[in-house]
Structure 1
Amino acid sequence: MPETTTTSRTRATASVAAILAESAARYPDDVAVVVGDQRTTYAELWSETLAYAGALRARGVTEGARVAMLVPNVADFPRVYYATLALGAVAVPVHALLKRREIEYVLRDSAASLLVCAAPLLGEGAAGAALAGVDVLTVLAPAASADGDDAPDRLEALAGSSEPLTTYVPRDPFDTATILYTSGTTGQPKGAEGSHFALLEQVNTNLLTTFDMRHGDVLLGALPLFHTFGQTCTMNTGFRAGATIVMLPKFDGDSALAAMVDHGCEIFMGVPTMYMALLDAATRSEDRPSLRYAISGGASLPLAVLERFQQVYGAPVHEGYGLTETSPVATFNHVGTPPHPGTIGTPVWGVDVEIADPATAEHIVLLPRGEVGELVIRGHNLMNGYLDRPEDTAAAIVDGWFRTGDLGTKDDDGYLTIVDRTKDMIIRNGYNVYPRQVEEVLATHPDVTMAAVFGVPHELHGQEIEAAVVLRADATVTPEELVTFVSTEIAAYKFPRVVHVVDALPLGPSGKVLKRTLVEQFSGQAEPATAS
C-alpha cells in the first residue's frame, strides 16, 4: 500500500474587491462611473484602485487594518473602498455630515489606523482625526493645496510614487470587510461588522432573484455610499452587474431629475425623502427619465407618495426592507412580480423573516400569521456582530435570529407589513397608536410634502400625539385644519392634537426621521409651532 500523508484542508477565500476586479476584466471599456462630465471606465477604475491600494500599503495599511473614509458620492469613493478591501483591510465609511467629535468617536471606536478624507470635508474630518490621533490622507485636493506643512498628504500623489497592487488579497469568507456605524437611535452608534460572505451573497441574491438589473443598465447613485443601502444595493450590486452608476455628490430633486434625464437612467433607488423631492421637482420640469422601475427603502414610503410617483414618473415602485445589520436587504417586492403597495414584500432568497413576541427577550417566540409583533431575521445576510460589543450582539442576535426592533405583521401569502418601530409606538390613555398609520393620512393632504408623528409626555394621557409637517411652497392649509383633516379619517384616540409646521424634518443617515429630536424639540410646548 502506498504511504499516505495528511495535509491541511485548503479553505475557501473571498473578497468584496472581486466585484470590481471581475467586472473590469469582463467589461473593461464600459463606463462604470459618471460624475458630472467625467466618465470612468471599469478598466480605469480598477487600475486606479490598485494604485490607491499600493499607496495605502506604502502608508502602512496591512491586512486586517481599519481604514476610515470620509468621501462623498464621487469616483474616489469606490477607489478608496475597493483599494482598502484589495489590501485585505477593513473599510470604515464615515457619515459625511458628522462633526469632529462624532468623527473622533468613530475613529476611536473602530481603532482606525488611517482616515482618507475628501478635501471639502477636511474642516471636520482632519479635526476629528487630530482628536483621535489618526493619520490623514486626502483626495480631491488640488495639487497646489498640499504645499503647506500642515496639509495632509494627497492620496493621488502618493499613488503616483508607490508600487500598485497587481490583484486583491484573498480573505476568509467570514473575515470582516466593512464596519458600518448604526445611526445610534439609542445610545452611542455601534459598529456592525459585515463579512465578505454576507456582502457578496447579498449582491448575488439581489441580481439573481430580487432586482431586475443587467449589464449596461444606468443607475442613479444618489443614495449616500457611506450607508449600507447605497453601498450594497447601488454600488456593489451595480458594479457586479456591469452597470453604469451616475453619482450625485449631493442630492436635491432638481439635480437628480436632470441627471436621470441627461444620462438615461433606467433604475432609481431612494429613500422616501428623495421620492418626495423628485415629486416636487416634477412640478418645475416637464422632463421625465425612462425609468424601468424604482426601489424604495430606508424607511416606510407613504402609500400616497408611492402612488403619486408611479403616476408622475410612469414607473412601478418596489419597496423593500433591511438594516445595516442585515447587509441590508431582508425582504422585497421582487421585480418580476407585481408589487403589493403598502408592504415590504417577501423574504429574499435564503433569508427567513418572521414575527416574534417582542416581550420575550431571552428567546425567540414566533407568533401566528396576522398578529403584530417584532420582525426577526436569520440567514446568510447577518452581520458578524457589533464591534467589541459582545453583550449588545448577544441581545440583538437571539437563537440565531436578529431582533430588528420593528413591529409588523406577516400575512398568509408571506407578505410583510411594517407597523412601526417599537420605540416609536405611542401609548395614549392605554391605547397603542402607531405613528406610521397617522403619517399615511397626513401624506394624502395635497399641501403636505413630509410628515412625522411622535408622542410627547403628558400628565393626563401618558403621551400626547403631535405631528411635524413640511408644507408645499404654495400651501394655504393651517395646522388647525390639518388636525381636523386627520381627525375625520381615523379614530379619536389616534389623531394628533397639535401639528407643527417646520422647514425640514431632522433626518438620519438612511433618510429616517429622527423622532427623538422632534420629541426633544417640542416636548412641553403648549401651542403648535409655525416654523422651525
Structure 2
Amino acid sequence: MQLSVATILRESAVRHPGRTAVVDGDVRVSYGALWQDVLRFAARLRARGIEPGDRVALLLPNTADFPRAYYAVLAAGGTVVPVHALLVAEEVAYVLRHSGARALISAGPLESLAAEAAADAGVDVLRVSCEGEPLERVEPREQGDTAVILYTSGTTGQPKGALLTHGNLVLNATVCAQDLFALTPDDVVLGCLPLFHSFGQSCAMNAALRAGAALVLCPRFTGPGALALLAEERVTVFMGVPTMYHALTEALGAGGVRPTTLRMAVSGGAALPVALLERFEHAFNAVVLEGYGLTETSPAATFNQPADRRPGTVGRPIWGTEAAVADAGTEDRIVLLPTGEVGEVVLRGHNVFAGYLDDPGATAAAVVDGWFRTGDLGVQDAEGRLSIVDRKKDLIIRGGFNVYPREVEETLARHPSIAQVSVVGLADEEKGEEICAAVVLRPDAPETPEDIIDWARQRLGKHKYPRVVRLLGALPLGPSGKILKRELREACA
C-alpha cells in the first residue's frame, strides 16, 4: 500500500490553501504557500542528486524552515534524519556517518556547527531554497518504507537510529489529531517542543498539519515568552513537558496575562506530578491530558482523553494498539502479569518502529514476541489505564526494598515551598542506595534540607522518605525539557 508522510501536508493544502499553517514570529505561512515551498525545495533536492530512499539530515531550529525541509525531503522520496540541535560537531558527524546521510540541511545559528560536522563526515551542507519550478508530484512510497530515522539519546554507548515508517507516522498523527485531541482547522497549536524530537515532530507538527490547524512555533522556550504567545496568538492547544507546565504556571503567578482561548493542554515526555497538573488546570482553566510514548512508538502509545481521564495515569492505549505489563526479569520472552502487578510496560501495534538501523541485536532485544519492551515500569488497573511507576534503570533499591522515585516526587511536589523536585538514588555502603531529593524551592522559601526531610518522614514509609536533600537553583534539563537524571546524580553525589 502506497502512503507518504508528505500527504499530511498535501491534503491539508488542497482543503485549506488560504488558512495559516505555520506562525514563525511575525511571518504567517498559508497551507498553499507552504506546500509550494515544499515542492520547489523538493525539486532542488532532486536536482542536487537526492534520489528516492536517500537519507537527508536536518539540523534546523524551530522555524518555518523545519517543516519546509522535512516535507520536501519526504516529497522527494527521501528519508529524514533530524539531528539533535544541542550536539557538538563530533556527535553530529557520528549521526551523519552512521545514517549514511547524503546531505545535511541547516540554517541560521546552526550553520557553523553543520559546516564543521559535515566536513568531518564528508557530506554537503544545503540551505533551504524554495525557488524555481516545483516537483510535479510526491514520490510514491510504501507504508512500510522508512520515513524518518530518529536517534535515541544514547545514555549508554552511542545513540541508536530508530526506523519510523510512513505508516507509523501517518497513523500516529491521524490518531493524535482526530481521536485524542479532536483538532480542527480552527485550532491553534503552540509548538514549544523541539521539532527534531518525536513529541514535537509527530504530536505537534504532524498532527496540527494533518488537521489543517495553525502551528505556532517557539524557537526558544521561556515561561513568560510562551505565556505571551498563548495570549497573542489565541492558542487553543498547548503541548509541552512537565517543566514547561511549571514555567507557565510560575509566569502566570508572577503577573502574566492569562490566555482566554486555551481549551486543552497535552503533556508527555516525562511524568507530570498530579499537584502540578492541578495547579495548571486551576490557573489556566483548561483540561490537561497526559500521555505516554517513546521515540520507538512514533511516539504516542497511551493517552488520557477528555471524557475518560484519570490524573496520575497516562490513560489507555491509543486506537489500534495494545499495552500490557510483563515480567521485567524475563528477557527472551514476554510473560504478561495480572492486573495490578508492577512490571515492564510492553506495547504493540501500528505505532511500533521497524527496528534500529544496522543493529539487529538491539532490535531483537527490544521487540520480543511482537511486543516492544519499553524499559519503563508500570501497572494497569482493571479498566486498562496505565500508570508509569518509573524507568527500570531509575529504580532505587534501599536496604533490599524497592523505592520508585516517582512516588516520592509526587509526595514532595505537594510541599507548599517546593517548586520542582526530582529523586535519584546515590550509592551507599550500608543500604546499597540512599534516596536523594534534588529540590528547587520557591522564591523566599525558608525551608532547610532538614525541614524537608522531616516533612517527608511524616508522609512516606520509613524505607521511602529521602535521607538526603540537595537544594539547587535549577534542575538540569535536556532540550526537550526532560530532567537529566544522570547529570542530577553527579550534582547530588
Range class of TM-score, shorter chain: over 0.9
Q: Which has the larger radius of gyration?
A: 1
Following the alignment from structure 1 to structure 2, what is the Cα–Cα distance between the partners of residues 495 and 301?
20
Is 1:94–2:83 an aligned residue pair? yes
2:394 aligned counterpart, secondary structure: coil
1:486 to 456, 468, 480: 456
TM-score using structure 2 length: 0.97
Quote how far apart the aligned CAs of 1:198 are: 0.9
User: Are the aligned partners of 2:264 and 2:286 in contact in 1 as well (CA < 8 Å)?
Assistant: yes
Q: 2:283 is matched with which residue? A: 312
Deviates further, 122-131 or 198-207: 122-131
Amino acid at match of 1:307: E
1:303 to 267, 271, 274: 274
User: Are the aligned partners of 1:317 and 1:339 in contact in 2 as well (CA < 8 Å)?
Assistant: no
Deviates further, 489-498 or 352-361: 489-498
Q: Deviations over 1:147-190 (max 9, x none)?
A: xxxxxxxx32xx43x54212210101100000011112332211
1:242 to 212, 216, 224: 212
Deviates further, 363-372 or 110-119: 110-119
TM-score using structure 1 length: 0.90
How do 1:56-135 and structure 2 match up within 5 A? 56-135=45-124
Following the alignment from structure 1 to structure 2, what is the Cα–Cα distance between the partners of residues 285 and 166?
52
Quote how far apart the aligned CAs of 1:509 are: 4.3
C-alpha distance 374-509 of structure 1, shift in aligned 2 (>3 A): farther
Amino acid at match of 2:268: G
Q: 2:413 is matched with which residue? A: 443
Is 1:327–2:298 an aligned residue pair? yes
Q: Deviations over 1:447-473 (max 9, x none)?
A: 222211111111111111112122233
Amino acid at match of 2:453: V
How do 1:128-143 and structure 2 match up within 5 A? 128-138=117-127
1:205 aligned counterpart, secondary structure: helix
Is 1:388–2:377 an aligned residue pair? no
Amino acid at match of 2:77: G
Quote how far apart the aligned CAs of 1:84 are: 0.4
Q: 1:288 is matched with which residue? A: 258
Q: Deviations over 1:284-324 (max 9, x none)?
A: 23411221111110000001100000000001111110000
Q: 2:244 is matched with which residue? A: 274
How do 1:120-519 and structure 2 match up within 5 A? 120-138=109-127, 155-156=128-129, 159-160=130-131, 162-289=132-259, 290-335=261-306, 337-519=307-489
CA RMSD of aligned residues (A): 1.3
Q: Deviations over 1:231-251 (max 9, x none)?
A: 111111100100001110111
User: Are the aligned partners of 1:376 and 1:402 in contact in 2 as well (CA < 8 Å)?
Assistant: yes
User: Are the aligned partners of 1:419 and 1:436 in contact in 2 as well (CA < 8 Å)?
Assistant: yes
Q: Deviations over 1:2-46 (max 9, x none)?
A: xxxxxxxxxx21100001111111100000011111110000100
Amino acid at match of 1:432: N
Quote how far apart the aligned CAs of 1:520 are: 3.0
User: Are the aligned partners of 1:183 and 1:508 in contact in 2 as well (CA < 8 Å)?
Assistant: no
Gaps in structure 2 of 5+ consecutive residues:
none
Q: Deviations over 1:29-72 (max 9, x none)?
A: 00001111111000010011111112222222111111111111
Is 1:33–2:13 an aligned residue pair? no
Q: 1:13 is matched with which residue? A: 2
2:353 aligned counterpart, secondary structure: coil
1:385 aligned counterpart, secondary structure: coil
Amino acid at match of 2:57: A
2:393 aligned counterpart, secondary structure: coil
Following the alignment from structure 1 to structure 2, what is the Cα–Cα distance between the partners of residues 507 and 59?
38
Quote how far apart the aligned CAs of 1:208 are: 3.2
User: Are the aligned partners of 1:183 and 1:509 in contact in 2 as well (CA < 8 Å)?
Assistant: no
Following the alignment from structure 1 to structure 2, what is the Cα–Cα distance between the partners of residues 122 and 478?
46
Amino acid at match of 1:280: E
User: Are the aligned partners of 1:180 and 1:192 in contact in 2 as well (CA < 8 Å)?
Assistant: yes
Following the alignment from structure 1 to structure 2, what is the Cα–Cα distance between the partners of residues 100 and 258?
34
Q: Deviations over 1:421-455 (max 9, x none)?
A: 00000001000000001111221122222211111
Quote how far apart the aligned CAs of 1:209 are: 2.2
Amino acid at match of 2:322: D
Gaps in structure 1 of 5+ consecutive residues:
1-11, 139-154, 524-532
Amino acid at match of 1:210: L
1:24 to 3, 6, 13: 13
User: Are the aligned partners of 2:177 and 2:208 in contact in 1 as well (CA < 8 Å)?
Assistant: no
User: Are the aligned partners of 1:332 and 1:346 in contact in 2 as well (CA < 8 Å)?
Assistant: yes
Q: Deviations over 1:474-530 (max 9, x none)?
A: 33222222222212110121111111122222223443222122223333xxxxxxx
1:467 aligned counterpart, secondary structure: strand
Return structure 1 stretches of 4+ with deviation > 4 angstroms.
none
Quote how far apart the aligned CAs of 1:256 are: 0.6
Following the alignment from structure 1 to structure 2, what is the Cα–Cα distance between the partners of residues 510 and 356?
29
Following the alignment from structure 1 to structure 2, what is the Cα–Cα distance between the partners of residues 470 and 112?
42
2:215 aligned counterpart, secondary structure: strand
1:386 aligned counterpart, secondary structure: coil
Deviates further, 21-30 or 277-286: 277-286
User: Are the aligned partners of 1:193 and 1:387 in contact in 2 as well (CA < 8 Å)?
Assistant: yes
Following the alignment from structure 2 to structure 1, what is the Cα–Cα distance between the partners of residues 419 and 81?
34
C-alpha distance 250-295 of structure 1, shift in aligned 2 (>3 A): same
Amino acid at match of 1:493: H
Amino acid at match of 2:246: M
Following the alignment from structure 2 to structure 1, what is the Cα–Cα distance between the partners of residues 365 and 170?
26
